[in-house]
Amino acid sequence: MITIKDLAREAQVSAATVSRVLNNDQTLTVMKETREKILSIAKKYNYVPVKKRSSNKTNHEHKDTKLGVLMFCTIEHEYEDPYFLSIRQGIDKQCEELGIETPLLIRIRQDQSDKKLSYLDGLIVVGNILPEDVAHFYPNSDRVVFIDDSPDQERFDSVLTNLEGATNKVLEYFFNINYTDIGYIGGLEPPLTFSLKDGEILRGSDNGKVRRETFEKVMNEKGLYNPENVYIGEWTTESGYHLMEEAIGKGNLPRAFVVGSDPMAIGAIRALHRAGVRIPEDVAIISFDDIEVAAYVHPPLTTAKIFTEQMGRSAVMLILERLRGREVPVKLVLPTKLVIRESCGGNINE
């Protein structure tokens, strides 16, 4: 009997991609040729996807719950970096499994700012949005959960990732394989904070800064920090490419690079390929996120996996806890997992 894994192997994509294409997931960003190839292979084997059934008991319990999602990033940002897309999909999947209506989605930088959401049972805020701007939409602060930000842990629930711990894991791996000449490529403090009142983006606290500052702290403690090997730009694939080009142009490339996100690392790898620099023989790369394409670039990308889907799922569950009567705010910090692939050298476990 043919399985999704069999189809994925023949199509040279992940099983998750096959499943989402066959179930017509419109949020999936995939090339037209890849989508058509998957559909063609499925047709060849007469494969029909099996949809999971939800628990009627659970559906009944939450069927009247209404949630909203307030997002910092634009649709274009989601296409460029699927980090926030994966968080949103985690929210939607958890709601679907619980029988909750698909949450109302508002993009603060695109949608009308006069919407009032007080009728909702809870609001999930994705990205750095000022609490006063959240209150403009939704005044019930005890039923707001922030994802990827914790503006006030005395008032709001929040779901974060332990990026300081993740950066330490990455550096520890490099040190264990005797790489001490290490550079850093990252972005300029996004996700940034959006001010609804002023209609502009403000610089604020951010997780990108955590990665960079942890890198600097650890390297300084070991007497290895060299500011000439730190490159900061935008959180895009294109920026990763140009920053690595800049590093190549200087000469004397570091033996390894910590790169702040998978999309930036993919751009950096492209620049190294074009310059004839071998990965990992000449330069090793480790980044963050573990987006779906990370396993399929050349060479496959070693990355600190951030459990973005679980971040979204956890936010839904925190709101349900509030609706059941929990009064104390909760700050949930999820761990990361270092996924070792060929881009970093050393032993390969995947």
Domains and CATH numbers, the chain: 4-44 (no CATH), 65-160+308-334 (3.40.50.2300), 163-306+337-344 (3.40.50.2300)
Q: What angle do CA 217, 220, 224 make, to 5 degrees?
A: 130
Q: Is the pLDDT of residue 54 over 50?
A: no
Q: Which residue has the higher pLDDT, 134 or 81?
A: 134
User: Shortest CA distance to 83 belongs to which of 285, 304, 343?
Assistant: 304
Euclidean distance between CA atoms 192 and 181, whole angstroms:
30
Instruction: Measure the CA dihedral 341/345/347/350, to 10°.
Output: 10
Q: Quick one: pLDDT at residue 1?
A: 67
DSSP structure string for 160-226:
EE-HHHHHHHHHHHHHHTT---EEEEEESSPSPEEETTTTEEE----HHHHHHHHHHHHHHHTT---
Residue scoring higher pLDDT (253 or 75) = 253
Q: How many Cα atoms sit within 13 Å of 348 on the Cβ side? A: 12
* Cα within 13 Å of Cα(155), Cβ side: 13
Which amino acid, 296? Y
Query: Over 80: is that where the pLDDT of 72 sits?
Result: yes
By C-alpha distance, which of 147, 170, 128, 349 is closest to 259?
A: 170
CA–CA dist 42, 44 (Å, integer): 5
Each residue of 211-269: pLDDT tens digit? 999 999 999 999 999 999 999 999 899 999 999 999 999 999 999 999 999 999 999 99
Q: Rounded CA gap, 293 and 17, in Å?
A: 10
pLDDT at position 127, please? 87
CA dihedral 213, 214, 216, 217 (to 10 degrees): 110
pTM above 0.85, yes or no: no
Main-chain dihedrals φ then ψ at residue 220, nearest 5 degrees = -65, -40
Is the pLDDT higher at 228 or at 81?
228
SS3 call for 299: coil
Identify the H or E element spanning 138.
Answer: none
Among the listed residues 268, 288, 72, the one whose alpha carbon sits nearest the alpha carbon of residue 164: 288
Q: Is the pLDDT score of 6 beyond 90?
A: no
Residue 317 has pLDDT above 70, yes or no: yes
Distance between start and end Cα atoms, the chain:
26
pLDDT at 203: 38
Least confident of 105-109, 159-163, 225-229: 105-109
The C-alpha atoms of residue 190 and residue 194 are separated, in whole angstroms, by: 11
pLDDT band at 56 (very low <50, low <70, confident <90, very high): very low
Q: Is the confidence at residue 281, as pLDDT, over 70?
A: yes
Mean pLDDT of 322-341: 96
Distance between CA 128 and CA 130 in Å, rounded? 7
Span 190-207, average pLDDT: 48
CA angle 12, 14, 19 (to 5 degrees): 115
For the cut 50, the answer to whether the pLDDT of residue 191 exceeds it is no
59 has a pLDDT exceeding 60 = no
The more confidently predicted of residues 41 and 286 is 286
